[in-house]
Structure 1
Amino acid sequence: MEELRSAAEAHMDQMADLVQKLSAELRTGLRPALDNFIGFFHAIDWKEPWLMGLMAFHFVLLVLAISSRKNLNIQMYLFLLALAGVYFAENLNRVLGSNWKRFATQNYFDSHGIFLSALWSGPLLFIAIIILVNTLFSLCSLIVRWKKAELRHRARISRNKED
């Protein structure tokens, strides 16, 4: 019986310690994540031509995705292009990591691909999500038009039967 009580007390002490650590982490909030982001942002030389070109590429792709929102064929090509870019990001990171001295002042391409994920894959996934949402809205409006046409057709058939 004594062993059971000591085991229960040890368990309660362990749970209290875990709750205390969790509450301490919750009190710190998002500050550590924000500090990491700010450090990441300041570590990058944003005036490098290839980074400016990368940002211009993402901007042009975003404008193209928004301006072609009525043309589903172009949207699907852009969607596949964006997803292919994300798919090949690991290979791109490896190639750019071995040739960074040709175009950059410092090696941004670590083995985990954090930089390329943030500045290449992240915007491509954002653009793909925009295209996906647009496609879903287009499909919803198409379903509504189809249902209206079906109801008009049924009404026409029922009118013809009455006559």
Structure 2
Amino acid sequence: MEELKSAMGEHMDQMADLVEKLTAELRSGLRPAFDNFIGFFHAIDWTEPWLICLMSFDVVLLLVVIISRKNINFQMCLFLLALAGVYFAETLNSSLRDNWKSFAGQNYFDPQGLFLSVLWSGPLLVIAIIILVNTLFSLCYLIVTWKRAELRHRARLSHNKQD
């Protein structure tokens, strides 16, 4: 019995060491990513009019998606437009990189397209996911409604046959 207790104690000590090492690695591993995010956030002049318009566009588009959640056809058009916006982000990035002096205080448009991916493609993808989830819920509701109607129809048919 003592051997079992000591083996369990050793096992628990090993597990505690593993958990401690894992949490230490996670804490140190997330710190550089957090520092990069803060640096990215502070490098942007959020008062530039075109950035305010871009963020306003995202908010207005999100509101339109929420308000029109019952109109599936309109939502599908918005879904396709959002995905088209993501698809053409690379072309948009190169065009904006060539003409940034006409509307921005600094060149945000790096060749890899990180800035545009975060502020243009990211919100469009989130909106597309919201539309997709809404469509799936609507389809589930439609399937349930259809199945109920089918069961009512079958019940009427079997009731008529019994008469």
TM-score (norm 2): 0.84
Counterpart residue number, 1:162: 162
The amino acid that maps onto 1:151 is L
Identity %: 75
* Counterpart Cα distance in 2 of 1:27 and 1:84: 38
Counterpart residue number, 1:145: 145
Deviates more, 1:28-37 or 1:56-65: 28-37
* Counterpart Cα distance in 1 of 2:30 and 2:147: 48
Per-residue deviation, 1:26: 3.1
The aligned length equals 143
Per-residue deviation, 1:31: 1.4
* Counterpart Cα distance in 2 of 1:124 and 1:68: 16
In structure 2, the gaps of 5 or more residues are 1-17
Which runs of structure 2 are paired with 1:51-130 in the superposition (5 Å)? 51-130=51-130
The amino acid that maps onto 2:95 is V
The amino acid that maps onto 1:53 is C
Per-residue deviation, 1:137: 0.2
Counterpart residue number, 2:9: none
TM-score (norm 1): 0.84
Per-residue deviation, 1:27: 4.4
Per-residue deviation, 1:29: 3.9
Considering only aligned residues, what root-mean-square deviation do their CA atoms show, in Å?
Answer: 1.4
